[in-house]
Chain A
Amino acid sequence: MTKPLVAIRSVAKNFGEFQALRNVSLDVWPGEVMCLIGASGSGKTTLLRCINQLATIDAGGIWLDGELLGVREQGGKLHRLSEREIGRQRLKTGMVFQRFNLFPHKTALENITEGPTQVQGRKPDEVRTEATELVRRVGLAAKADSYPAQLSGGQQQRVAIARALAMKPMLMLFDEPTSALDPELVGEVLAVMKELARSGMTMMVVTHELGFAREVADRVVYMDQGAIVEQGRASDVLGAPREERTKAFLSAVI
């Protein structure tokens, strides 16, 4: 029997009085492409950040590849893991940010090799070969030695995807990867993501690109006010939503 790659159970997260996540439970299966949709403030970005431990959860638990994230159960209590252990757990996920967050003082290739050489301590030659292959895969072989400031938004985001892939993650998290892009640059980033989805990568994508969700997602999850309202096949959720809130959101977006 296969196990879910990510198991989220009764997760809650508060920012002061604001409840960003309320009692969220969800499974993500190996090879699945899941799109999270919803209005801003609905908790979908927070959920991704909790899986990558850029945010800590206040209640519940998240298991990745069978391992409980961020804490260890001992003597009936949960103890926080050390920074080193959290860093090790983070290596299983790759994160792509809305605003790219490339390292501006490093070239495209150096951005990609930074993690494998510095964090994983792998051999520079070997990493460089892999990185060159990754730059080619995202269609930027000619830009390998360019600095981020010399690249367009779409090119930067493709480098950011390659940087995340270089760590050989089991799960890729995309936080609104095309929201900061000019409209004519969205397509090139989505094309790279589609190729990645076809290659069998497990992906969680927070997005407003419903066309992408319809075409690529195995499952679409609609969130509102920190909770999952509706989920199912893309054609069902986007084509024939059952919940009134989902209907209202979709009619407002399209």
Chain B
Amino acid sequence: MKPAPALAQGFPDLSGLRIAREPHWFRWISAALILLVLAAIARAFANGQIEWSYVSRFLTAKVILEGIVNTMVMAVLAMMLGIFLGIVVAIMRLSANPVLKSVAAGYTWLFRGTPLILQLLLWFNLALVFPTIGIPGLWSARAVDVMTPFLAALLGLGINQGAYTSEVMRAGMLSVDIGQYEAAQAIGMGRLRALRRIVLPQAMRVVIPPLGNEFIGMVKATSLASVIQYPELLHNAENIYYANSRVIELLIVAGLWYLLAVSILTPLQMLLERRFARGTLRLAR
């Protein structure tokens, strides 16, 4: 074997030298400026006409706590209804049956095409259209008794959410490789079983970030149900300030609770993402 050729001269040995720290002047200056602006805003609010004692007093008032509980209950239930409808509609949309396909498209078109607050008002006022509802010959009731604020809010929010979620789910299913359907078929699975066992679990990984987004949207969208007397957070805060006129203080209370709720949801979403990331390279290695 030939010896390796000698290396050329004039290129000094740099091992042992460290890379110097950069001063990052701009970062320091911009951070100082932002702190200054924040301090100014804090000072303005501290001296403004806000009675902070009302904020702390009502932050844990019973009516407010009931409000946030109702908000979260409604958000979870409506989201569950929305995800259920979303999955069903997405499957219908991707089926070969033209009837199912157009029903799914029509649903999405109708409920995405009208404002949510209008849908809530329509559900709540259903009794104006159908004074009694029921199954002919079996059961009937007065619509005003059935269509409580709770049910109207659940239907309004959930069915509207289903229209958006169906598109998220459809995107997730389309993201799964066609070879996965074929492999599932090749081991004898029917379409629905392949969807449930093979395709949906893989689609979940893709749809959780947008669904988390949708759920955060839902937590705040429940505040629209205040217009149909559902006793959620904003509705209860409003009821208090109608009585004591501390409008800003109670809006701040409500705002803080919404912020807290959303802040808790973000790490929950990360846990869920990890659950459905099974088998992906990032976690496996």
- Residues of A at the B interface (CB closer than 8 Å) are 52, 54, 83-84, 87-88, 90-91, 93-95, 97, 99, 101-107, 114-115, 118-120, 147-150, 163-164, 167
Contact = CB atoms under 8 A, between A and B. Distances in A.
A103 B187 CA distance: 12
A101 B180 contact: yes
Nearest to B201: A105
Contacts of A83: 190-191
18 contacts: A54-B182, A84-B190, A87-B185, A87-B188, A90-B187, A91-B188, A94-B186, A95-B186, A97-B182, A97-B183, A105-B201, A105-B276, A118-B189, A118-B193, A119-B187, A119-B189, A119-B193, A150-B284
A59 to B, nearest CB: 22
At the interface, is chain B mostly helix, strand, loop or mixed? helix
A219 B191 CA distance: 36
B278 A105 contact: yes
A104 B280 contact: yes
B136 interface: no
Interface in B256-280: 276, 278-280
B197 interface: yes
A57 to B, nearest CB: 16
B188 A101 contact: no
Interface of B: 177, 179-180, 182-191, 193, 197-198, 201-202, 205, 276, 278-281, 284-285
Contact of B280 (A115, A149, A163, A167): A149
Contacts of A91: 188
A239 B279 CA distance: 45
Contacts of B205: 105
Contacts of B193: 118-119
Nearest to B282: A149
Contacts of B185: 54, 87, 90
Nearest to B180: A101
A94 B185 CA distance: 11
Nearest to A83: B190
Nearest to A88: B188
A52 B186 contact: yes
Nearest to B184: A103
Given A119-B193, A149-B279, A101 B284 contact: no
Specify which of B183, B185, B190 lies most central, judged by the most chain A CB atoms within 10 Å of its CB: B183
B188 A167 contact: yes
A97 B180 CA distance: 11
Contacts of B279: 104-107, 147-149
A118 to B, nearest CB: 6
B183 A105 contact: no
B191 A105 contact: no
Nearest to A167: B187
A118 B184 CA distance: 11
Contact of B278 (A90, A97, A147): A147
Nearest to A89: B188
Given A101-B182, A101-B183, A149 B284 contact: yes
A169 B285 CA distance: 35
Contacts of A93: 186
Contacts of A119: 187-189, 193
Contacts of B202: 103-105
B179 A99 contact: yes
Nearest to B196: A118
A64 B180 CA distance: 25
A103 B183 contact: yes
A102 B186 CA distance: 12
Contact of B186 (A54, A99, A104, A149): A54
A130 to B, nearest CB: 14
Contacts of A147: 278-279, 284
Specify which of B188, B190, B205, B278 lies most central, judged by the most chain A CB atoms within 10 Å of its CB: B188
B183 A87 contact: no
A21 B201 CA distance: 36
A88 B193 CA distance: 14
A163 B193 CA distance: 17
Given A84-B190, A97-B183, 20 more contacts: A52-B186, A87-B188, A90-B185, A94-B186, A97-B179, A97-B182, A97-B186, A101-B177, A102-B183, A103-B180, A103-B184, A103-B198, A105-B279, A114-B197, A115-B189, A118-B193, A119-B188, A147-B278, A150-B285, A167-B188
